[in-house]
Chain A
């Protein structure tokens, strides 16, 4: 049945078609515009992310190198070992600052009066004295000799060295005056100033001097705090997740628990800090600034996260597994502990790592329980005063000295590195071990 194709005849149909075709161009333009806005949204978010990360990198990359100044140090026996004991233990009491001052005076013989000299002596970090002491104690034969030694420069000089453009600043904006600038240039011309690796950053705790401050103390503080968090949080969260998902009867009480958990997950973190302050510190008199209290507060905060992810991964195990075990005569409890939990372990672990990485980045509640103190010692136990990585970053940011800015950014780089590692492990665990049902 071959028939002729029809021609559209009806009036309102063709009228509509005409109307629609006329408006089409405009509609397609608005379509393109809307799509562009979508791309713009994502683009903005991505640009924000890139800006944040790159600004941190730009600010922080300098912190991994320090400035060193080369001086000829005369290891004067009169100063180091006035009693001529030759016993290295005696060297501890010597005033090594004098050695440095003498070397500076020799380098810049034109500096005569005390006031000008004070400007010169700020060039060398006080940490250099410790280094000289160590050197003398380890090499007794050096006593009485002169030797060219690279000494750690002070933070001010370090900032000038890292920002050459500052030479052109006005004197009052520059941190150092014109005479100091000329000394700096003299050192530079003679090749007696150089960059070296900043070993203090990864091996020291906090300090008032930027060039001597390091991240190790707060890294250990974070470690101890997270250890407590993990030990408290993981068993409790898994137990509670298992109970709520697998064993709990459906009644008002379990509903109430559930509402509580969902809300706790959204309670501002600082509220947990207030809880810790009011109960752990003021009622129970637990030690201030201690990782154990910090860990307890963070455990309460992380609990809902891990409970929720535990429940999600338990839910992913198909009911057939439970039915099979119960069909063989196992109790519900045995079915869950022997079969369901092992199957959902990768998911639980992934959730735990993500919860821990949240806890690692958290700082507000810890401010409340005093983990914000200036702590020079590296903590060695759960009850020592300590601070954690993000709080250290906050502390450095709040410090006025110019040299701390790059330390702050470098501290952030360390923190982000840990977070990247933890999250990669979580992704790895998920992809490697998680079963698809």
Chain B
């Protein structure tokens, strides 16, 4: 994932960072409109909470000439520079703007209409988070662990001859989750550490390999290296050294 910086991209760094997560550039315009409404209708207190801090940030941390003085060349913080965007309470600004403006209107009907209009703007121009979860399977357990991985780890735990079995996962996400689900498992990166990593052979020291069922080349290599398939799930094989 590329992290853009104002020193490299100028003002467009914001558009580029938003686009990384499917957020359209007009979010900035929508937020700016709500900020102006909040600043104009909200009074001094609302401006002190939202407008003046943003101005200060634009002059300092968000400024391409000033922020290098703050961060120097420290790559650890430059890599995470995008996180300073969290300082701006972007979801509170529309709320402050709408409520401030509505409080200036004399009657209840215009207030309701304004609120509905604002919600419509947010709904039509936004990218609803809930939509992104459509089609996602509900978690199978209270750990929110992948059900297939749980089954695989349980097979490994039942078959392991040591307290700390070394396991190589073809899927990196499985490896990541396995460490959290069963901390006894030690992870080998043999299958994905480098491109063109060597196939398993008789010199391999891993106790278990977990591979996809369609990885026929890996399966062949494992079977000819003395590993035996001890279990399978709908998508994976579990091989153990014998």
B partners with A: no
Interfacial residues, chain A to chain B (CB-CB below 8 A)? none
Interfacial residues, chain B to chain A (CB-CB below 8 A)? none
